[in-house]
Chains A and B, each alone.
Chain A
């Protein structure tokens, strides 16, 4: 193989400089800043800061509001991941079996994927507004739904708002996954097994496992980090901070409350949580997956 030789080191660094600058400014600098914030305390007017060790962490972890947000976040992740994956899978299986108008179904089901989380939140707002909301009135008629007051009703509101868009994303990947399964394998199973339900769980689903595993990680990351806009445009944490996710809380404490020390400590705790979840998944789940 022929190697391209540059006459001086300067040319090489010149070419990678823009990329390096972006990484340094938008990735490494904030990380350094986060650590600095987490281990220091700033005075009220921002004139000085002093090193405070783990004080910020102790403060955060002993705050009952933080524990509430942590609990909510874990429930939020589990519910969003489970429902958006299973509904996405259900829709993908159905759309894959449709013979007439297949592409129309696909297009319509993929559309919500293109919407930004904040826009999803605003849209959900219309549905759940107290006076105009179709869903608000519908649920209110069923059991007196009121997300301003009732914690579980507020949960339902953010769960629906946050999983709606994600269903589309999961749908796309599951549909693609289904289409990579050899048709003849499905046909062989049709001859081998009468029940289509059983066929799905013994043949199709195991062959979709790589996709499912990938999507579980993607969905956890999504519900953890990307739903800030949705919370901020729907409940804003109502009632009384019960629907704040960890990211949202860190954002509010840091940028609205201007408590950068607490926000920094919260960010580092979140990073550790994600690390643990990811390691767990790769350790214990991935080994059971069949990759073609």
Chain B
């Protein structure tokens, strides 16, 4: 059942910039939805509109069947975790956690009980009397989470909460957030520009570009069946290979290579996409490549090179490859694993 609904939501700034353009999306109860996209794509604006920090130019946002467009942020029953924690620096952790409850007029005993519960859950009990400045990055992050949890909201909103943490901690906190969210079953929206975060955290992803949702789906769906050229390009490291060409009677024809494929398209300019792991060295292959660079990552190796028409192509090999720079190799495309995009509309064709 849908719980948080966006209907044709639009945001136009006073200077005329369209940050979000007629976006519709429904998020089911208990789901963790990730908004992912490059910086400036409107993902944060969308989140801030749900939180009530930006007003909505057009459209409707519903939370639990109630339109919240005009509801005061403090009464929307949402809690937000900010990128730089946004803890109140002059208050100790206890006061940071209790501030929202206090303003709602909860009784002192109730506040104390709740704060202690949350502090226990997040293992920050011993820091309750400390000021934020006396905490490490990870601890501050937990206090910020605590401040959201303590309000018992209908939705959690995360605005790139991991980007201030160092790489090792980021991985840990990511797992913590995911576990907590599942444990508490609270509907959540998580904004990030990091696709690893997006893939690992999300029950579903909304890939956003220039104020428009390009695709919504489970991480695997989005990875395996990108709906547009943008999604294909944005999701996956190393990036998908793209080759411009044409389809003629079930054949893809480009300057570098041709291959036969099963499609009902004819005589159309297309972009042919193939993920690095869907290429393998084989004598029957149709792409000839001269190796330019080898990245050995341990578990696997990424091999980069040029095809006959100088397209830069990469593919994934097992860790200890014996291919050398300047080798000439032939690559085979894994059956049916290619992606075709319209050259004009950039939409998926197959």
Contact = CB atoms under 8 A, between A and B. Distances in A.
Given A182-B86, A290-B89, A193 B51 contact: no
B72 A184 contact: no
A191 B88 contact: no
Contacts of B86: 182, 184-185, 187-188
Interface in B64-89: 72-75, 78-80, 82-84, 86-89
Contacts of A182: 84, 86
Contacts of B133: 292
Interface string A196-207: 001000110011
Interface string B143-160: 000010001000000000
B42 interface: no
Interface in B148-189: 151
A192 interface: yes
A194 interface: yes
A191 B84 contact: no
B53 A187 contact: yes
A43 to B, nearest CB: 61
Nearest to A194: B74
Interface string A160-192: 000000000000000000000010110111111
B103 A191 contact: no
B92 to A, nearest CB: 11
A203 B80 CA distance: 17
B89 A185 contact: yes
A191 B89 contact: no
B89 A188 contact: no
A5 interface: no
Nearest to A187: B53
Contacts of B137: none
Given A191-B78, A191-B79, A192-B99, A207 B53 contact: no
Interface residues of B, number: 26
A138 to B, nearest CB: 39
Given A185-B89, A202-B99, A193 B84 contact: no
A195 interface: yes
A99 interface: yes
B103 A185 contact: no
Contacts of B100: 191-193
Nearest to A198: B103
Given A189-B88, A206-B90, A184 B103 contact: no
A195 B104 CA distance: 10
Contacts of A292: 89, 133
B211 interface: no
A89 B96 CA distance: 25
A99 to B, nearest CB: 7
B72 A207 contact: no
Interface string A82-119: 00000000000000000110000000000000000000
Nearest to A207: B90
Nearest to A184: B86
A92 B88 CA distance: 21
- Which residue, of B53, B84, B133, has the highest number of chain A Cβ atoms within 10 A? B53
Size class of the A contact interface (CB-based, 8 Å)? 20 to 34
A195 B102 CA distance: 12
Contacts of B78: 191
A170 to B, nearest CB: 21
B14 A193 contact: no
A210 to B, nearest CB: 11
Given A99-B14, A195-B103, A202-B99, A190 B88 contact: no
A211 to B, nearest CB: 13
Nearest to B133: A292
Contact of A193 (B74, B79, B80, B89): B74
Contact of B83 (A99, A100, A184): A184
Contacts of B89: 185, 207, 290, 292
B52 interface: yes
A291 B75 CA distance: 31
Contact of A190 (B14, B73, B147): B73
Interface in B117-162: 131, 133, 147, 151
Contacts of A195: 103
B104 to A, nearest CB: 9
- Which residue, of A185, A189, A192, A290, has the highest number of chain B Cβ atoms within 10 A? A192
A190 B82 contact: no
A154 B51 CA distance: 53
Given A99-B14, A184-B86, A290-B90, A190 B74 contact: yes
Contacts of B82: 184, 187-188
29 contacts: A182-B84, A184-B84, A184-B86, A185-B86, A187-B51, A187-B53, A187-B80, A187-B86, A188-B86, A188-B147, A189-B99, A190-B53, A190-B73, A190-B74, A191-B51, A191-B53, A191-B74, A191-B79, A191-B100, A192-B74, A192-B151, A193-B103, A194-B72, A194-B74, A198-B103, A203-B88, A207-B89, A290-B89, A292-B89
Given A187-B82, A189-B88, 19 more contacts: A182-B86, A185-B87, A187-B51, A188-B82, A188-B86, A188-B147, A190-B53, A192-B74, A192-B147, A192-B151, A193-B99, A194-B72, A194-B75, A194-B103, A203-B88, A209-B90, A290-B89, A292-B89, A292-B133
Interface of A: 99-100, 182, 184-185, 187-195, 198, 202-203, 206-207, 209, 290, 292
Enumerate the 9 nearest inter-chain pairs by beta-carbon distance, A residue then B residue, closest first: A184-B86, A192-B100, A290-B90, A194-B74, A193-B103, A188-B86, A184-B82, A206-B90, A191-B73
